[in-house]
Structure formats: C-alpha cells, structure tokens
Amino acid sequence: HRPTALAVVLDNSQSTALLDGDRRVLDRLTERVRATLRMATAGDRIALFPTAGTEPSAGGIAGHLRTLETLTPAPSRADLPGTLAEAQAWLA
C-alpha cells in the first residue's frame, strides 16, 4: 500500500475491564490494533491515542506493540473529544 498516516484511537477506559466472554474488552480491542499494525510498513506514520490516562504513543511499530502489551484499563472515563482532537492535530 502507499505510505499512510494512521491515528489509532483506542478506548482503554474503565469500562474496557469488563469481560466479553472469557476476555476483557480491552484485550479484544488491542488484538484488532495489533492486526492493523502488522499490515503497516516502514513508510507509514502511525500514532496510538489511548482515550484514558495514558500518553499517546508516536514511535515505530515495535514501540506501539510494546505500548499495547502494557496498556491497562484506566480507572477513569474516556476523554473521547479530547483524544479525537489530539489525533486530528497529529494528522494535520
């Protein structure tokens, strides 16, 4: 694919600690993000924006994968408007 700029907004709010079957909602969400990152190439520009209590990750693919490994549900609500504004500014 052609080089792409991708801002991934990932919900890690308190509600993602809930179980969906035998797994946390956050685990299912991060699995989908990992699948997306595996399709990325070195020419892509990617940033990861958790919605609660965690700083954005704007490193390489390996750094994003490490962030996903350590990401936990935050004890707070998602700041979706704020996170979307950050992602939009990063893409601009």
The gap between the terminal CA atoms of the chain, to the nearest Å, is 21
| Phi, psi for residue 44 in degrees, rounded to 5 | -85, 150
The reply to whether the predicted model has a pTM over 0.85 is yes
| Domain ranges (residues) in the chain | 5-83
The pLDDT assigned to 47 comes to 96
**How are beta strands 5-10 and 45-50 bridged, if at all?**
parallel
Instruction: Considering only the C-alpha atoms of the chain, give the largest distance between any 2 of them, rounded to a whole number of Å.
Output: 39
Task: Give the model confidence (pLDDT) of 9-47 as tens digits.
Answer: 999 999 999 999 999 999 999 999 999 999 999 899 999
d(CA 63, CA 6): 15
Between 44 and 58, the higher pLDDT residue: 44
